[in-house]
Amino acid sequence: MTQREYLLLLWPLALAAGAWQSRREHRANVAELFASTARPLAERAVPRLGALGIAVVCAYVTMAAVAAPSIMDTASYLPLASFAVVAVGALALVAATWLGLGIGRVIPSPLTAPVLAVAGIGLLLVLPFAVGSSEWLAMLLSPVDGMSQFTDFQTVPGRVSAAQGIWLTALAGSGVVLLAARSRRTQAAALLPAVLGALLGALVIPRGADFVPIPIDPVAQEMVCADGTPRVCISRTHGGLLAEVTPIARRALAVLATLPEAPTTAQEDTWFSAEKEPPPPSVDTVLFPVQVDVHGHLAHPGNALPQMLDAAGVDMSSCTDSYDIRAARAAAYWLMGRQPVAEPGEPAELNAEAVTLWRGLQVLPEAEARARVAAVREAALACEDIQGLLSRSSE
């Protein structure tokens, strides 16, 4: 999906390249000579259409092929929809190039190519705002819209790829008609394939209640679990990281086992904010995020354990009003037995307050400190305010 975002620049450039190439006969002043030959215009256009089409497809597929080795080494789940997304991206460049060829022949001006490049970028940028609430229309007409990836579980539904394929094929057809047209009437008729393609695509693409701006692949969210106990599971998408995550998660469960109502399972948090309301805190399960680095390994493994032990092992996503990062962090690092560390980019005073709470726990008898951390866990499970629970006066 990320590769499709580059079409914001590549699509207008392909449009301009087609228009520039189409001016070749005009620049060489051989248009009348070619017109006098017995070879039909449509037949003369085929080599140009084929050459440019093959060139842009090869260039686009090569971009994907460069990343293929790292993807194949690290991906544990690669759905067929991924290949459809790449295919539609390549088709978008073919459509842009052929449309540019047609427009360049109709308007053989030196300004045609640069104007098309600027207009293409402007169109792709403005289209999502121009359609208003009809987001499905922008996703149909633009090869870029909806391709920004907000979560690893995001996908492009097959119906969306099919609708985009219909529209882009029709747009390419309009370019061919323009390139082969000999009269104004035929040039006007070039609009027909594009209009029909848009109508057919609109019938295929999900609309209304069926349209989901950020669709999630449920198979990607399915859990795969490590052998043995305690039970540790992560999503199918991140299944290749199970060996890296399991020892960290089991260490977190072992630490939390010293608290009342201790969890027995650790599981990746696959909830996405645009999907639905977050689940309530779970007594039995520690939820944790999984992030992948550019090499396909667990990103920031040193932060994984503190994240699992945050708020004494309770995910408070559904009760943010009760969450206090300072108390949650101090509890986590007390369980780990070391001083809290700031996360990159956060205000220094935030961690300083967590360190103060942690030091307060350090001077207490272990039983009292553990009781306060247990109180944080109990309050977090009930979505109650955890602020002040670590610094209350000893009873």
In the chain, domain spans: 2-210, 222-381
Query: What number is the average pLDDT over the span 137-157?
Result: 90
Least confident of 7-21, 97-111, 263-277: 263-277
Q: What type of residue sits at position 29?
A: N
More confident residue, 232 or 72: 232
Query: What is the rounded distance in angstroms from the CA atom of residue 249 to the CA atom of residue 307?
Result: 10
Q: Give the angle 49-142-98 at the CA atoms, nearest 5°.
A: 10
Q: What type of residue sits at position 337?
A: G
Would strands 223-225 and 231-235 be described as parallel, antiparallel, or unpaired?
A: antiparallel
| CB-based burial, 198-226: b 16+ in 10 Å, e otherwise | bebbbebbeeeeebbebbbbeebbeebeb
φ, ψ dihedrals at 43, nearest 5°: -70, -35
How many Cα atoms are found within 13 Å in the side-chain-facing hemisphere of 381?
17
Please choose, from the candidates 359, 307, 362, the residue with its C-alpha nearest in 3D space to the C-alpha of residue 329.
Answer: 307
Query: What is the rounded distance in angstroms from the CA atom of residue 174 to the CA atom of residue 204?
Result: 20
Residue 58 has pLDDT above 60, yes or no: yes
Residue 72: its pLDDT value, please?
67
Whether 131 contacts 137, CB under 8 Å: yes
* CA of residue 125 relative to chain centroid, distance: 18
Query: What is the rounded distance in angstroms from the CA atom of residue 127 to the CA atom of residue 219?
Result: 31
Does the pTM of the predicted model rise above 0.75?
A: yes
Whether 356 contacts 349, CB under 8 Å: no
Whether 88 contacts 143, CB under 8 Å: yes
Query: What number is the average pLDDT over the span 172-187?
Result: 89
Residue 8: its pLDDT value, please?
93
More confident residue, 209 or 167: 167
Confidence tier at 73 by pLDDT (50, 70, 90):
low
Whether 56 contacts 90, CB under 8 Å: yes
Confidence tier at 74 by pLDDT (50, 70, 90):
low
Residue 392: its pLDDT value, please?
65
